[in-house]
Amino acid sequence: MNCYNCNALVDAHTEVDETGSVPKNGDISICFYCGALAEFMDTKLTPLSAEKRANLILEDPELWQDILELQKQIKEARKRFKDGRESPNTSHPDVTMENYPTGTQCQV
């Protein structure tokens, strides 16, 4: 499976609630490489629909703010890496490229 936005290979995921669940249809994903929001649908990632986004904002505004902050951090880390200011494994002490060599997603 690949990110619809940057085409990065998605071969792992981390669930927010730490239940050990695997992604299912309708789960939201944030690309570790580009920060794109997607939805799992039939074993692929599709762009998050405007309807799904609006529902999330209304139902859980705090979670929505957390998602926006995570997107911002991912994009800032990628920019620092591209600018040569950091190696990919120093942008965050708990998130390293060694832990996620080919791709990962954050399941919401």
Which DSSP letter does residue 53 get?
A: H
Distance CA(9)–CA(3), nearest Å, equals 7
Residue 43's domain comprises 13-107
Asked if residue 3 belongs to a domain, the reply is no
Asked if residue 33 belongs to a domain, the reply is yes
pLDDT number for residue 87: 54
* pLDDT one digit per residue (tens) for the chain, 108 residues: 889 998 988 877 776 666 767 788 888 888 888 889 999 888 889 999 999 999 999 999 999 999 999 999 998 888 887 776 655 544 444 443 343 333 444 444
Asked if residue 93 belongs to a domain, the reply is yes
Asked if residue 19 belongs to a domain, the reply is yes
CB 104, CB 32: distance < 8 Å: yes
Asked if residue 1 belongs to a domain, the reply is no
Overall number of domains in the chain = 1
pTM: 0.66
- For the chain, report the end-to-end CA distance as a whole number of angstroms: 17
Asked if residue 5 belongs to a domain, the reply is no
Asked if residue 8 belongs to a domain, the reply is no
